[in-house]
Chain A
Amino acid sequence: MDSFWSVLGGAFALVFALDPDLLEIIGLSMRVTLTAVLFACLIGLPLGAAVGAFRFPGRTLLAVILNALMGLPPVVVGLVVYLLLSASGPLGPLRLLYTPGAMIIAQMIIVTPIVAALTRQVVEDIDREYAEQFASLGVGALDRLLSLLWDARYSLLTVTLAGFGRAVAEVGAVLIVGGNINHVTRVMTTTIALETSKGNLQLALALGVILLLIAFSVNACVMALRASAVRAAYA
């Protein structure tokens, strides 16, 4: 067993050498995660905003369901998506199992409720403040939804970030539906999980360092953006 320091040294050597395998894994990770977050936002932002801004029967129930789905166990999502996509499943003919597409679907299912539930809260708070002014001006439903989303933009950036953080760190579901196939569905988290168990600690640790760096820099960017927004009283 290598010492901790030599593993760490080896890991940084891989990072600085821009090891092609490493880059491929990072690239796929980002592609899968960003696509999943994009789709989750396309669904979750308007959905959450609608639940937050409009009064309709079943609204409270929907809000409770969204909140509950935030805590959806990823392995269960993985299992369900696996069953849906497996050869004998209803979506079997799509032949998506063990492809990046399957991983995107799984991550999207995990992230969408997070984006929707947090968006609902943010939009509801702003709507409480704006509702009478909008009613007085005679703002229509669609304009209202878009305006609330726009005025919540800086808070929603944080919401998106929460979704991104959850997706990029996800391992259980993507392992089940992706299978961690080399050069096909290997992403950072699944590689870390499997390479660690195989004893290839340098690659695992290198990926861990990169994952941390990505999380750190994305967070730093969003915080800087938000800080300027708060100064300008936009958030």
Chain B
Amino acid sequence: MLLEASDLVFEAGGQRLLCGVDVSIRKGARTLVMGPNGAGKSLLLRLLHGLLKPAQGEVLWQGTPLTKQAMRAQAMVFQRPVLLRRSVLANLKFALSVRGLRGAERAEKIEVALAAAGLSHLAKQPARVLSGGEQQRLAVVRALACEPDLLFLDEPTANLDPASTAAIETLVLEANARGVTIVLVTHDSGQAKRLGQDVIFLQDGRVAEAGPASQVLGTPRSEPARAWQDGRLYLGANTRSINDRFRRTF
């Protein structure tokens, strides 16, 4: 296992937001994290990446506790892409400089990344005036330019049109083919079918179901995963307040 977590507990504001979560990420695999809004998917990614410390449990990177060094072997594309107040080019330059790259080597990597994202013609533009899809693509290639062993992506294609979604999925699949392990959060069932190898279904801060995609998405045992397969809108326990309001509709 590349990344393993056992019995993860995370608390904030007096609330237990993640509760006894076990996760194992296979090296070279594509793992999807699914589940309703507020299930704790983004939190789980932050814990696995080492941005947050669990109250209990431990995250193991290749069998040893997470260190700064291990974090550098990972990269993350956040749910809301964080782009610097600089040009597209300067955003890539910054990320690569942090990794100690300079000069011609860096320039070459930037060029490859820009081409991969289809952003070469926008290189001089301020990153924050790009369209949503262009910003996501930039965030993805910036993360990939750091050549991580593992890439976390938190809903990278939410709000994107099919063309931009396809572009991002292609980037992800290409990286995966080069050996980059992928952990991707999605609400998109089509995307889950296209990309999923392993699936972790989160519900209310717990793992409702986890395993190979064919099993979790094909013959689900848990209620949220079954609802997902049936194409029902599952309103889980932690969406109780909306649930009460809309119970009659669904």
A binding-site residues for B, Cβ under 8 Å: 126, 129-130, 132-133, 135-140, 143, 147, 150-151, 232-235
Contact = CB atoms under 8 A, between A and B. Distances in A.
A233 B86 contact: no
B228 interface: no
Interface in B103-131: 126-129
Interface in B174-209: none
Contacts of A132: 46, 51, 78, 82
**Interface of A: prevailing SS:** helix
26 contacts: A126-B85, A129-B82, A130-B82, A130-B84, A132-B46, A132-B78, A135-B51, A135-B71, A136-B71, A137-B75, A137-B95, A137-B146, A138-B68, A138-B71, A138-B98, A138-B99, A139-B98, A140-B98, A147-B84, A151-B84, A151-B85, A151-B86, A232-B129, A233-B85, A233-B129, A234-B126
Contacts of B86: 150-151, 234
Interface string B66-88: 00100110111010001011100
Interface string B134-147: 00000000000010
Interface residues of B, number: 23
Contacts of B126: 232-234
A136 B139 CA distance: 13
A135 B128 CA distance: 20
Contacts of A129: 82
B157 to A, nearest CB: 19
Nearest to B148: A136
Contacts of B76: 136
Contacts of A234: 85-86, 126, 128
A235 B129 CA distance: 11
A16 B146 CA distance: 61
Contacts of A135: 51, 71
Contacts of A133: 78, 82
B49 interface: yes
Contacts of A150: 86
A136 B85 contact: no
Contacts of B94: 147
Query: 8 smallest A-B Cβ distances: which pairs?
Result: A233-B128, A133-B82, A151-B85, A232-B126, A234-B85, A233-B129, A136-B76, A233-B126
Contacts of B46: 132
A103 B95 CA distance: 44
Contacts of B99: 138
A137 B98 contact: yes
A206 B3 CA distance: 73
A126 B126 CA distance: 17
A133 B94 CA distance: 12
Contacts of A143: 98
A74 B86 CA distance: 38
Contacts of B72: 138
B43 to A, nearest CB: 12
A134 to B, nearest CB: 9
Chain B CB within 10 Å — which of A126, A136, A234 has the most?
A: A136
B172 to A, nearest CB: 17
Nearest to B52: A132
A170 to B, nearest CB: 32
A139 B84 CA distance: 13
A150 B46 CA distance: 27
A55 to B, nearest CB: 14
Contacts of A233: 85, 126-129
Contacts of B78: 132-133, 136
B12 to A, nearest CB: 15
A150 B85 CA distance: 9
A137 B51 CA distance: 11
Given A136-B49, A233-B126, A234-B85, 13 more contacts: A132-B51, A132-B82, A133-B78, A136-B51, A138-B68, A138-B71, A138-B98, A140-B98, A147-B94, A151-B85, A232-B126, A233-B85, A233-B129
Contacts of B82: 129-130, 132-133
A132 B76 CA distance: 10
B86 to A, nearest CB: 7
Contacts of A139: 98
A28 B129 CA distance: 43
A192 to B, nearest CB: 40
**Which interface residue of B74, B76, B82 has the most chain A CB atoms within 10 A?**
B82
A137 B73 CA distance: 10
A130 B86 CA distance: 13
